[in-house]
């Protein structure tokens, strides 16, 4: 049933609006964290399903933090399971290259290399990086989402960036 113009939106309508608005970014977060260890779409769907079934508990006017935290937790929970289905590099769930033909080949190659290098990092390094550099969250906010301390976040970021730099440097040296 459509809500009359001017009337406040119902919980379901607010929920749907939040999903449409935030899903594209949430997919990026899920994909960055799980890499090729699982289906980011399944993770996101499960996270949103959990929120939908308890939608009355939350305020859907400012849901970004809630949705992000739920997706991150679901992704990390899945990674902790003993058996993960590896998603092949050419699986449709695995974007890695922008599809736009206007993007120069070298940029796509860089993106692909960075993606491959990040996939090799431990999941908490990946989670900290995507929340810091993609979501522009503070160390304190990241610590709350990942349920750790601020020094731990700083360590993960520092070590993740150093490992990435080494991997990408070795790739650059190989193809130089």
Partner 1 sequence: MDVISEQDLDLLETWLDGELSAGEAEALQARLGSEPEFASALAQLRSDREARSAMFASLAGSSAQAETILSNVKRLAAAHERRRWAMRAVRYISAAAACLLVGFLAGWFGRTRNAPVAPSAPAQAVYEVGLSDQSGQVAWQKFDSPEKARAFARDLAVWQRQQQLRNSGQVVLVADRF
What is the contact surface with partner 1 in residues (CB under 8 A)? 16, 19-20, 23-28, 31-32, 41, 44-45, 48-49, 52-53, 95-98, 107, 110-111, 114-115, 118, 129-130, 132-134, 138-139, 154, 157-158, 161-162, 164-165, 168
Give 78 or 164: the residue with its C-beta nearer to partner 1. Answer: 164
Residue 88 per-residue DSSP state:
P
Give the residue with the Cβ less far from partner 1, 84 or 114: 114
In the complex, the smallest distance separating the C-beta of residue 137 from partner 1, rounded to whole angstroms, is 10
Q: Helix %, strand %, coil % for the chain, to 5? A: 70, 0, 30
Nearer to partner 1, 6 or 56 (CB): 56
CB of 130 to partner 1, least distance (A): 6
As measured in angstroms, the least distance from the Cβ of 39 to partner 1 is 12
- Count CB-CB contacts under 10 A for residue 108: 16
In the complex, what is the shortest distance from the CB of residue 28 to partner 1, in angstroms, rounded to a whole number? 4
Q: Return d(Cα 10, Cα 28) in angstroms, integer.
A: 28
> In 3-state terms, what secondary structure has residue 77?
helix
Q: Is residue 88 packed enough to be buried (19+ CB in 10 Å), middle (13-18) or exposed (0-12)?
A: exposed
Residues in the chain: 176
Backbone angles phi, psi at 62, to 5 degrees: -135, 75
CB closer to partner 1, 82 vs 104: 104
State which residue, 82 or 105, has the beta carbon closest to partner 1.
105
């Amino acid at each position: 049933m459509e809500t009359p113009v001017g009337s406040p939106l119902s919980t379901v309508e607010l929920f749907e609006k939040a999903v449409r608005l935030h899903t594209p970014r949430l997919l990026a977060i899920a994909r960055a964290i799980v890499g090729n260890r699982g289906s980011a779409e399944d993770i996101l769907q499960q996270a949103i399903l959990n929120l939908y079934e308890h939608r009355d508990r939350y305020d859907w006017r400012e849901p970004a933090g809630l949705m992000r935290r739920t997706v991150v937790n679901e992704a990390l929970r899945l990674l902790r399971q003993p058996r993960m289905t590896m998603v092949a590099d050419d699986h449709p769930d695995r974007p890695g290259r922008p599809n736009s033909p206007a993007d120069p080949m070298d940029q796509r190659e860089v993106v692909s290399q960075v993606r491959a290098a990040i996939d090799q990092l431990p999941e908490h390094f990946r989670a900290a990086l995507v929340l810091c550099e993609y979501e522009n969250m503070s160390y304190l906010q990241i610590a709350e989402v990942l349920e750790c301390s601020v020094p731990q976040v700083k360590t993960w970021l520092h070590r993740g960036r150093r490992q990435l730099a080494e991997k990408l440097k070795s790739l650059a040296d190989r193809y130089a």
